[in-house]
């Protein structure tokens, strides 16, 4: 059974509004009339498409591991890496934390998500629901935000632009395989509608979100404040301390995030400079500010501009993970450029501090319960007032 399931009623997970749904045609989606959240999307043969894209992504992921990923040549010396070899270089140079973060976010977690996609889609195609399938579903939903293969790919492209000024760089077969893996992984996520699978796993009845009690609302606000304050404190050393150190003929030159942006701008790499500026400087500040404003608004019981506030919340939830670009840039450069005193790059203390800022703000967005924006209002009133 692979057809789209549509319940008679569904409760929006972002605003607690209960909606009656009609039958959906191919490529139609049901949207909450209160907050605009997409409740369900129906695509014909979506389970088959998910299985095909997820399996293809796994094949490309495997092919991206054994072959040469990048090669770097300078001053008569050459250094090549494959993806596992790049992580090994980081570990050999005592950058275990950076290797662990990069390996998990770009290889291991995406691989686990893809395996989950394959298991879920094949089970749905055959209409088989073994006992472990709900655990697989929950694991996939939890791991998806932490799978950052596409961000690593963009970070690698930025790294290539940075180092072409220093030496010759060539691309290996694994790099092209990684592009295929990223594209298929992205398409897999597009074809995975978590509510469709939740409906199928629960015999066509989507469980309503757990009611939000006053105590849980208070805990949500307190946890969000604690995480935002921690992220704000870590953001200071993340920008003041060097994120990367370049050793050229025995002379060490530290580089901060802003310093790297300035260097790229002065060298004429304006698009890359803007990407790093937005992802690494603007986005973390904006995300902390927006989440702080949202948390304050629900804590003080504000009832105005609810539609605007929920849009801001979705923006912070979707964009925050892209700040990891700079961390992956550092990981690629450190793994690739190790030519002794001639030319070597090392991560600075700001790398882990900035990585912590990204992760903590992501958790803060997850901790903040968007239903608090709509709490205490009548459904029909909200629909008429917000449109």
Domains of the chain: 1-44 (no CATH), 46-208 (no CATH), 210-374 (1.20.140)
Name the DSSP letter for residue 100: H
pLDDT confidence of residue 44? 85
Give me the pLDDT at residue 382, please: 41
Nearest to 331 by CA among 155, 172, 173, 177: 155
pLDDT of residue 4: 53
Nearest residue to 280 via CA among 246, 241, 322: 322
Nearest to 187 by CA among 363, 313, 43: 43
- Angstrom distance (rounded) from CA 266 to CA 295: 39
Q: Specify the pLDDT at position 138.
A: 94
pLDDT along the chain (387 residues), means of 10: 60 85 82 88 89 97 94 77 90 89 95 96 93 94 94 90 77 94 95 89 76 84 95 94 82 84 81 85 92 92 86 89 89 83 81 93 92 66 40
Query: Burial code of 164-202, b = ≥16 C-beta within 10 A, e = fewer?
Result: eebbebeebebbebbbbbbbbbebbbebbbebbbbbbbe
Residue 241 confidence (pLDDT): 92
Query: Judging by DSSP bridges, how do beta strands 28-31 and 343-347 pair with one another?
Result: unpaired
pLDDT for the residue numbered 124: 93
Residue 103: which of 165, 56, 61, 70 has the closest Cα? 61
Q: Residue 345 — φ and ψ, nearest 5°?
A: -125, 135
Closest CA to 29 of 48, 19, 176, 254: 19
């Amino acid at each position: 059974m692979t057809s789209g399931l549509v319940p008679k009623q569904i409760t929006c997970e972002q605003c607690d509004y209960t909606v009656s749904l009609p039958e959906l045609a191919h490529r139609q989606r049901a949207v909450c009339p209160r907050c605009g959240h997409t409740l369900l999307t129906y695509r014909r043969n979506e389970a088959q498409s998910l299985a095909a894209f997820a399996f293809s992504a796994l094949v490309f992921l495997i092919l991206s591991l054994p072959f040469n990923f990048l090669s770097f040549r300078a001053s008569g010396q050459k250094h090549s890496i494959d993806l596992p070899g790049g992580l090994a270089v980081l570990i050999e140079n005592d950058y275990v934390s950076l290797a662990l973060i990069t390996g998990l976010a770009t290889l291991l977690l995406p691989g686990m998500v893809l395996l989950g996609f394959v298991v879920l889609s094949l089970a749905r195609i055959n209409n088989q629901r073994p006992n472990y399938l709900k655990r697989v579903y929950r694991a996939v939903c939890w791991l998806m935000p932490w799978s950052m293969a596409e961000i690593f790919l963009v970070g690698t492209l930025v790294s290539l632009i940075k180092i072409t000024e220093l030496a010759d760089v060539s691309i290996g077969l694994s790099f092209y395989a990684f592009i295929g893996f990223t594209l298929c992984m992205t398409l897999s996520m597009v074809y995975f509608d978590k509510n469709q699978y939740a409906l199928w796993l629960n015999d066509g009845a989507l469980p309503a979100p757990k009611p939000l009690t006053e105590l849980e609302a208070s805990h949500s606000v307190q946890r969000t404040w604690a995480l935002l304050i921690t992220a704000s404190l870590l953001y200071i050393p993340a920008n003041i301390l060097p994120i990367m150190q370049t050793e050229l003929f025995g002379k060490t030159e530290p580089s901060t995030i802003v310093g790297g942006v300035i260097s790229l701008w002065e060298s004429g790499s304006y698009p890359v400079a803007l990407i790093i500026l937005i992802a690494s400087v603007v986005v973390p500040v904006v995300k902390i500010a927006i989440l702080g404003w949202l948390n304050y608004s629900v804590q003080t019981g504000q009832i105005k501009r609810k539609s605007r506030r929920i849009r801001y919340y979705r923006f912070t939830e979707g964009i925050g993970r892209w700040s990891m670009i700079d961390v992956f840039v550092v990981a690629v450069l450190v793994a690739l450029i190790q030519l002794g005193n001639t030319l070597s790059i090392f991560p600075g203390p700001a790398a882990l501090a900035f990585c912590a800022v990204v992760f903590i703000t992501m958790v803060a967005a997850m901790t903040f319960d968007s239903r608090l924006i709509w709490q205490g209002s009548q459904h029909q009133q909200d629909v008429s007032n917000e449109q």
